[in-house]
Amino acid sequence: MQKILSSSAVRFVLVFLGLYVACLCPTIAQEVVIRDIRIEGIQRIEPGTIFTYLPLKVGDTLTADKSAAAIKALYESGFFKDIRLELQGNVLVVSVEERPTVAQVDFVGIKEFDKEQLRKALRAVGVGESRIFDRAALDRAEQELKRQYLSRGKYAVQTVTTVTPLERNRVAVNFAVTEGEVAKIKSIKFVGNQSFKEAELLDLLNLSTPTWLSWYTKNDQYSKEKLTGDLEAVRSFYLNRGYLEFRIDSTQVSITPDKKEIYITVNVVEGNKYTVSEVKLAGEMLGEEKQLASLLTLRKGDVFNREKLNQSIKAMTDRYGQLGYAFANVNAAPEIDREKSQVAFTVYIDPGRRAYVRKVNISGNTRTKDEVIRRELRQFENSWYDADRIKASRNRVDRLGYFKDVQIGTEPVAGASDQVDVNLAVTEKPTGALTFGLGFSSAEKLIVSGAINQSNFLGTGQSLGLSVNSSRLNRVYSLSLTDPYFTEDGVARTYDLYHREFNAAFLGLGDYRTANRGAAVRFGIPFTEHDRFIIGLGYESTQLILGNNAPQRLLRYRNDYGNFSDAYVTTSGWIRDSRDSALNPTTGGVYRAVIDVALPGGDLTFYRPALGAQKYYKITKDYTLAFNTEYNTGVAYGSKPYPVLRNYYAGGIGSVRGYTTSSLGPRDADGFILGGQSRFVSNLEFLFPMPGTGNDKGIRLFTFLDGGNVFADEWALSFNQLRYSSGLGLNWLSPIGPLKLSLGFPLNKKEGDRLQKFQFQVGTGF
């Protein structure tokens, strides 16, 4: 490879060239006035480009120094490999030889990487089609190519680069690669560890020797970045167990001559195990001494724990942020007593000046209107900085469900020590779907379906849904429109209009059909940051069409209510939503207490209370525990019994997975599913990232434990009759909406239970 000259060597060469030109052109030494400049030898480069770099113009007096400066400037442009200056009378002739351009970049033997991705990477270091060919850039490209292979553990990689001249002063660059085999970690050893066994330290590492799952995890492939992360995990392990002066003395990574096996040796110095002798506060505490002391989780007598100390410092910083001190500085200074193996900490607090927010900048919303985001903000411009309000703003924007990612941060205002700007960056995701389909199944025969669903209609934050589904089993026509800010105070309004038909005969539930038509309007009235009162009124008419072999329960229903019945239903209740995200919640929860009442004046008179709670616990940044429970019951009032067409059902992915949808609960003498007046369902999920997806929360795996059932009577609940199931599944924010797949295994199935292990559902959380 050609070596790059040092800057001093370049200066020497340029000076020499200047002297050389002066010797060849005596007229230059005579300081000739330039009357014209002529360019010769150019093929692709425009003369104007050369004049841009040439520090000479007509009318200048040409000297040896100016000649050297002109040659230097043209060389530094990178376009030429040879430059000559000549004088023909008073005409300066600039003769150049252009450097070739790269016509194509090809690869041979590449299997590990996508070739187009490699072309982009090499173009970033200066080698790409239509670029000026540069030998130094080619050297960098070779090193970058090798580095990419080394990051994959392929240390035996060999590259041969060929540069082939082409017509019109072009070249073709070809990288011939012999990838070789991946080097595997043969051994990882710790030296100097006395307090903890080597096996315990090895369990902390992501890197490992080959295991039966290494083909998937690839943890047996060495990576400098992975090793750095593993060593930090070991360091944190010791520091969180009292070893204040722990250090990693050295790390040796060696590879066998055949470059197939790697040996890693980590030398550690543990030091003494320290206990905390004292933790005291100092500095300007603004009367917050008691509050700050309560935030200290590391106390006198504890074994030193760096994580607890850092958590305490963060909690104090956050506390001052709540008070408006955006630039608070909290530091812990240790005083080490090595003889007693004790350490005392003095936590120094400097709140700085109280800050206020100058501007709130929003970026990334190419489709969503600014006002849709700004009305969710709780941190306002030209008001005192409040860390809690900033966090609440971020969570409210995320709960809209319009964005894949929402990030918020602060930036000091230049020249102002008491001002910050809040920057909110969003990444939009598709919020609408237009679908049309034709299908066929043994139960439903021909299915024609179509839907338009837009949760952020025209970027206004309004939600519009129009769906049509036509089959022999179900026919649905519905229209829904929601305005979350019907008033400026945040009162939401929803209109619903629908027509639904259901033919039970095709599922073996009995020889009958129903047709429901209805309309409703609902309002959501906020009264705290997270709480909302809902109230609504709807009308629904039900037509019952019985066949020759209709179930007895439907015959009784017709005797009570006739073939046509209607109901005027009011909805009222309370909902609290404190989740940090609508699509991927990790903290907070949703709680609801709602009751539907069919008012006197209609054929049906009943009320249906519903209680529910969803709670999310963030275990780590990657792992979340989710809990859901709900109880529903239906009660008739007046002289007529509870209408069986309003019964509850359970079973399936929305309730108890592993059992066929709506199959749990009482049955009649003919074995038909009756449903019931009461239902209880509880779910527990443990969510974690899918291996290989990194921090992508759009797709997550989960394990679950479900329990629930349906009961015949009002207010009924018997835990002895619950059905349980467990299994695993997948949450995916797919292009058609939130998709949930589950594989469930019943734990206490009874005779007659209908099972369905694999199930899926679109558009639901639990």
Q: What is the DSSP string of 445-489?
A: EEEEEEEEEETTGGGSS-EEEEEEEE-SSEEEEEEEEEETTSSTT
Residue where a domain terminates, one of 98, 127, 156: 98
Residue 355: both structure tokens together: 């800050």
Q: Which of 478, 488, 575, 598 is nearest to 524 (CA)?
A: 575
Verify that 626 and 708 share a domain, yes or no.
Answer: yes
573 and 448 in a common domain:
yes
Strand partners, 384: 356
d(CA 613, CA 682): 10
Q: How many domains does the chain have?
A: 7
The answer to the question of residue 611 being in a domain is no
368, 422: one domain:
yes
Strands (E), 637-698: 658-659, 678-689
Q: Looking at residue 390, what is its pLDDT?
A: 93
Amino acid, single-letter form, for residue 374:
R
Domain edge (last residue) among 162, 178, 194: 178
Same domain, 647 and 700: yes
Tell me if 521 is assigned to some domain: yes
* pLDDT value at residue 749: 92
CA 732 to chain centre: 12
Side by side, which strands form the sheet with 36-40? 36-40, 91-98, 80-88
Q: Is residue 585 part of a domain?
A: no
Q: Is residue 462 in a domain?
A: yes
Classify the C-alpha dihedral 77-80-84-86 as positive or negative. negative
| 722 assigned to some structural domain | yes
DSSP 602: B
Question: Same domain for 436 and 572?
Answer: yes
Judge whether 607 lies within some domain: no
**pTM of the predicted model as reported, rounded to 2 decimal places:** 0.59
Residues 647 and 695 in one domain: yes
> Do 475 and 549 have their domain in common?
yes
Q: Which two tokens stand for residue 691?
A: 């291996």
**Residues 419, 443: one domain?**
no
For 47, the 3-state DSSP assignment is: helix
Domain termination site, one of 98, 128, 151: 98
Alpha-carbon gap, residue 188 to 227, rounded angstroms: 11
Q: What's the confidence (pLDDT) of residue 1?
A: 35
Q: Which two tokens stand for residue 707?
A: 């329990």
Are 113 and 155 in a shared domain? Answer: yes
Quote the pLDDT of residue 664.
92
- The verdict on 420 and 527 lying in the same domain is no
- CATH number for the domain harbouring residue 146: 3.10.20.310
The pLDDT assigned to 183 comes to 84
* Regions of the chain where pLDDT drops below 70: 1-30, 431-452, 470-473, 506-509, 692-697, 734-738, 761-766
For residue 358, the surrounding DSSP H or E stretch is strand 356-363
Q: Considering only CA atoms, which of 73, 20, 81 is closest in space to residue 50? A: 73
CB atoms within 10 A of CB 291: 14
Residue 677 domain-assigned (yes or no): yes
For residue 46, give Cα distances in angstroms to 39, 92, 132. 10, 18, 15
Instruction: Name the nearest CA neighbour of 708 among 657, 766, 756.
Output: 657
Assess if residue 446 is contained within a domain. Answer: yes
* Residue-number span of the structural domain to which 168 is assigned: 101-178
**481 and 564 within one domain:** yes
DSSP category for residue 342: E
The reply to whether 86 and 109 lie within a common domain is: no
What is the β-pairing status of strands 723-734 and 755-756? unpaired
Closest by alpha carbon to 25, among 118, 88, 74, 103? Answer: 88
In the prediction, which pLDDT does 53 show? 85
